[in-house]
């Protein structure tokens, strides 16, 4: 029997997660990942990988909770298995601090992480310039390890990898029965969709192995995320900024702000700098349309625009994408390609 040919565009965390879920759940599909960039050159690879959602305005909260919980539970099982080191997934505890007391003191994901609570007065003394804080334990997922781990899992169920830049989805549809678009910020060009825009983030990798707890300023521009081989400190949130080069002033600003939060960083050695473009969008786009190609209706499932929450929502949005694909193959079984 002819297998249904599915192609996933993009090999970042969303692309690979989606590809794995489809390949494992739908044995009647043969799945190919096609992308210009692979690990270690994707946006996901540089990201610190702390699981920490933000609230999107137009998606029902229960769906956002489901996206996060699905991802959290999946990664937690890995963190507590012998594969944790290989996959780069582990528990991370820390502090989320606010310069002013927020109106919304309990975010929608508070019960999905571990031990969410307000910080005590003694803990707040560690951050004299901040008035309020939350402490919790979440997960950290380092894509430099996780993406190769996902790729191994993908190949183990017969997944194929193609290194090629996709510029035309209609052309791609000539050779496949279904397309899943996980091209991240690339969707800006690929889908001619200006709703997705870059949010530039710069980050430093610092040698400070004594740092174990994360610290994040709620404004999103100052954070310290201890990792396996280095600590990620950052950051920036520059909208519509496509620059991939390191900006020296940004680096200085990051070091200064982070050292104020964590004085021991002043004696830490900077090992590297990195820039990534978050695929910004008002809300992640997880929906299906159809491409009309040579008399065929080819389902095109979009799964992009996760902003700074790609890793955080990867497994959950991948499930939605899988379900959209499954439903469309059922609704409109693929016709023979000419």
Partner 1 sequence: MSLHCLRLVRARHTLKTCLGQCRFLFGGTKKFDMKVCIIGAGVIGLSTAQSIYQHFHGRVTPLNIEVYADVFTPLTTSDGAAGLWQPYLYDKGNVQETKWNKETFDYLLSFLSSPDSIQMGIFLQSGYNLCTEPMEDPSFKDAVLGFRQLTKRELDMFPGYSFGWFNTALMIEGKTYLPWLMDWLGQRKVQFYQRKIGSFQELVDSGADVIINCSGVRSGDLQPDPELKPGRGQIIKVDAPWLKHWILTHDSSSGVYNSPYIIPGSCLVTVGGVFQVGNWNLQNSSVDHKRIWEAACKLEPSLQHARKVEDWTGLRPSRSKVRLERETIRSGSHVFEVIHNYGHGGFGLTIHRGCAEEAARLFEQILEQKGLLAHSKSRL
Could you list the residues known to form a binding site for D-dopa, using ranges: 223, 278, 308
Q: Specify the stretch interacting with partner 1 by CB under 8 A; choose among 17-25, 244-252, 263-271, 279-287.
A: 263-271
Nearer to partner 1, 106 or 171 (CB): 106
How far is residue 20's CA from residue 142's CA, in Å, rounded to a whole number?
17
What's the min distance (Å) between Cβ of 307 and partner 1? 26
With CB under 8 A as the rule, give the number of residues binding partner 1.
36
Q: How many CB atoms lie within 10 A of CB 19?
A: 33
Residues with Cβ within 8 Å of 275's Cβ and at least 6 positions away in sequence, in order, are 46, 200, 201, 202, 203, 243, 244, 245, 246, 247
CB 30, CB 5: distance < 8 Å? yes
What's the min distance (Å) between Cβ of 118 and partner 1? 10
Binding of partner 1 by 106 (CB under 8 A): no
How far is residue 294's CA from residue 278's CA, in Å, rounded to a whole number?
35
Q: Which of 25, 36, 63, 91 binds partner 1 (CB under 8 A)?
A: 91
Binding of partner 1 by 255 (CB under 8 A): no
SS3 label, residue 329: helix
Where do we find the tokens 């959950």?
316
Which positions make up the binding site?
A: 43-44, 166, 223, 278, 307-312
Residue 207 gets the label, from left (phi > 0), alpha (psi -120 to 50) or beta, of beta
- Of 33, 43, 29, nearest to 11 by C-alpha is 33
Q: At what angle do helices 61-79 and 310-331 cross, to 10 degrees?
A: 110
Q: Which of 84, 157, 161, 218 binds partner 1 (CB under 8 A)?
A: 84
Q: Which of 2, 41, 120, 294 binds partner 1 (CB under 8 A)?
A: 120
Where do we find the tokens 């528990």?
91
Binding of partner 1 by 65 (CB under 8 A): no
How far is residue 68's CA from residue 314's CA, in Å, rounded to a whole number?
8
Nearer to partner 1, 10 or 88 (CB): 88
Binding of partner 1 by 79 (CB under 8 A): yes
How far is residue 45's CA from residue 275's CA, in Å, rounded to a whole number?
11
Binding of partner 1 by 88 (CB under 8 A): yes
Which positions make up the binding site for FAD?
A: 43-44, 166, 307-312
Which of the residues 137 through 156 are near partner 1 (CB under 8 A)?
137
Q: Burial, 101: exposed, middle or buried (Cβ in 10 Å; 0-12, 13-18, 19+)?
A: exposed
Q: Which of 57, 82, 295, 333 binds partner 1 (CB under 8 A)?
A: 82
Per-residue x/- track, 190-219, partner 1 (CB under 8 A): -------------------xxxxx------
Binding of partner 1 by 76 (CB under 8 A): yes
Q: Which of 53, 198, 226, 310 binds partner 1 (CB under 8 A)?
A: 226
Q: Which residues bind partner 1 (CB under 8 A)?
A: 76, 79-86, 88, 90-93, 114-115, 117, 119-120, 122-123, 126, 135, 137, 209-213, 226, 228-229, 263-264, 266-267
């Amino acid at each position: 029997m002819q297998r249904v040919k599915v192609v996933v565009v993009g090999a970042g965390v969303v692309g690979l997660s989606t590809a794995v879920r489809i390949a494992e759940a739908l044995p009647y599909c043969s799945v190919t990942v096609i992308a210009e960039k692979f690990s270690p050159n994707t946006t996901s690879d540089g990201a610190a990988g702390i699981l920490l959602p933000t609230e999107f305005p137009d998606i029902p909260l229960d769906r956002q909770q489901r996206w996060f919980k699905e991802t959290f539970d999946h990664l937690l099982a890995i963190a507590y298995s012998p594969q944790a080191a290989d996959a780069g997934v582990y528990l991370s505890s820390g502090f989320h601090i606010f310069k002013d007391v927020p109106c919304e003191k309990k975010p929608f994901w508070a019960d999905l992480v571990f031990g969410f609570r307000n910080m005590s007065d003694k803990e707040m003394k560690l951050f004299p310039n901040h008035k309020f804080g939350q402490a919790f334990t979440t997960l950290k997922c380092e894509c430099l390890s996780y993406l190769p781990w996902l790729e191994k899992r993908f190949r183990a169920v017969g997944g194929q990898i193609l290194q090629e830049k996709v510029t035309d989805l209609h052309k791609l549809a000539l050779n496949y029965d279904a397309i899943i678009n996980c091209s991240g910020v690339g969707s800006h060009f690929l889908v001619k969709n200006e709703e997705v825009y870059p949010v530039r983030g710069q980050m430093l990798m610092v040698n400070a192995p004594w740092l174990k707890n994360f610290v994040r300023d709620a404004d999103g521009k100052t954070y310290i995320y201890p990792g396996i081989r280095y600590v990620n400190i950052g950051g920036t949130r520059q909208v519509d900024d496509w620059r991939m080069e390191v900006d020296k002033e940004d680096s200085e600003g990051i070091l200064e702000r982070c050292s104020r939060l964590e004085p021991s960083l002043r004696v830490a050695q900077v090992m590297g700098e990195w820039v990534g473009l978050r695929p910004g969008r008002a809300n992640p786009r997880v929906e299906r349309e159809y491409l009309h190609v040579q008399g065929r209706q080819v389902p095109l499932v979009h799964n992009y625009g996760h902003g700074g929450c790609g890793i955080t929502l990867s497994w959950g949005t991948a499930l939605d994408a899988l379900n959209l694909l499954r439903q469309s193959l059922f609704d409109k079984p693929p016709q023979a390609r000419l």
